């Protein structure tokens, strides 16, 4: 059972890392985790799959314990490609999951030599893409709140508009704005 769980964990980490590194996003991909950190099932199946060939045994990626890039990529828990743009929203697990913990960013791909230009949006429990248009994404943000007077943790939803202007000659934006919205 432990071996099967380890293989499943390695497969999930690999899928997350590949989703985070996709240079030309073409469809919306969302990967979420449960509070225990296990991947939530994508969709219920009517019947379990039946093996149709020999299994391939995976080994850990060489240096994966010390490669900061792979360790960081394994922390990606949510990715949303932005159709029609060389951009994506993504969230990285971090901080105290009881008080937000989804470090959320928007990234714009320039080219293979330059890579991604990444702007931090905020630290939330979760976000939902409400709509998207050229140079704009509307988000519903679910976040923890803290009442200093009582010491109580609450939560709220708020909406924001994430907007950018494409740089000259299709270069990445030089600025991104986040505006409160209704």
Q: Please give, one letter per residue, the 3-state secondary structure of the chain.
A: CHHHHHHHHHHHHHHHHHHHHCCCCCCCCCCCECCCCCECCCCCCCCCCCCCCCCCCCCCCCCCCCCHHHHHHHCEEEEEEECCCCEEEEEEECCCCCCCCEEEEEEEEEECCCEEEEEEEEEECEEEEEEEECCEEEEEEEEEEEECCCCEEEEEEEEEEEEECCCHHHCCCCCEEEEEEC
Instruction: Tell me, yes or no, whether 145 lies in a domain.
Output: yes
Block residue for tokens 């828990």:
77
Instruction: Tell me, yes or no, whether 170 lies in a domain.
Output: yes
| pLDDT at residue number 45 | 59
**CA 84 → CA 25, 91, 111, 137, distances in Å?**
9, 20, 16, 12
Instruction: Tell me, yes or no, whether 93 lies in a domain.
Output: yes
| pLDDT at residue number 20 | 45
Q: pLDDT-derived band of residue 156, with 50, 70 and 90 as boundaries?
A: very high
Lowest mean pLDDT among 7-21, 28-42, 81-95, 156-170: 7-21
Whether pLDDT at 121 is above 80:
yes
Instruction: Tell me, yes or no, whether 43 lies in a domain.
Output: no
Q: Single out the residue of 33, 28, 138 nearest to residue 77, CA to CA.
A: 33
Q: Supply the pTM of this predicted model.
A: 0.67
The pLDDT tens digits for 19-49 are: 444 444 333 444 444 444 445 555 665 788 8
Task: Over range 159-167, report the average pLDDT.
Answer: 91
Instruction: Tell me, yes or no, whether 65 lies in a domain.
Output: no
Residues ≥6 apart with Cβ < 8 Å to 56: none
Structural domain containing residue 75: 2-34+70-181
Whether pLDDT at 158 is above 90:
yes
Cα gap 118→108, rounded to integer Å: 6
Q: pLDDT-derived band of residue 97, with 50, 70 and 90 as boundaries?
A: low
Instruction: Tell me, yes or no, whether 112 lies in a domain.
Output: yes
Whether pLDDT at 6 is above 70:
no
Instruction: Tell me, yes or no, whether 120 lies in a domain.
Output: yes
Task: Over range 52-79, report the average pLDDT.
Answer: 86
Lowest mean pLDDT among 12-21, 92-101, 118-127, 167-176: 12-21
Whether pLDDT at 7 is above 70:
no
| pLDDT at residue number 18 | 41
| pLDDT at residue number 136 | 95
Instruction: Tell me, yes or no, whether 39 lies in a domain.
Output: no
The number of distinct structural domains making up the chain is 1
Pick the more confident residue, 37 or 152. 152
Tokens of 57: 């045994």
Q: Single out the residue of 51, 59, 11, 5 nearest to residue 31, CA to CA.
A: 11
Percent of the chain topping pLDDT 70 = 73
């Amino acid at each position: 059972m432990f071996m099967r769980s380890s293989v499943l964990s390695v497969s999930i980490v690999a899928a997350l890392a590949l989703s985070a590194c996709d240079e030309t996003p073409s469809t919306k991909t969302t990967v979420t985790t449960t509070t225990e950190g296990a991947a939530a099932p994508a969709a219920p199946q009517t019947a379990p799959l039946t093996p149709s060939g020999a299994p391939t045994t995976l080994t850990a990626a060489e240096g994966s314990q010390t490669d900061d890039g792979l360790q960081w990529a394994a922390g990606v828990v949510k990715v949303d490609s932005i159709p029609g743009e060389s951009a994506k929203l993504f969230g990285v697990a971090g901080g105290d999951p009881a008080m937000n913990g989804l470090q959320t960013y928007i990234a714009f791909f320039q080219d293979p030599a330059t890579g991604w230009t990444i702007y931090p949006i905020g630290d939330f429990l979760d976000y939902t893409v409400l709509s998207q248009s050229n140079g704009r994404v509307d988000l519903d943000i679910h976040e923890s709140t803290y009442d200093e007077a009582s010491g109580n943790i609450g939560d709220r939803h708020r909406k924001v508009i994430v907007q950018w202007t494409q740089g000259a000659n299709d270069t990445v934006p030089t600025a991104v704005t986040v505006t409160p919205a209704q």
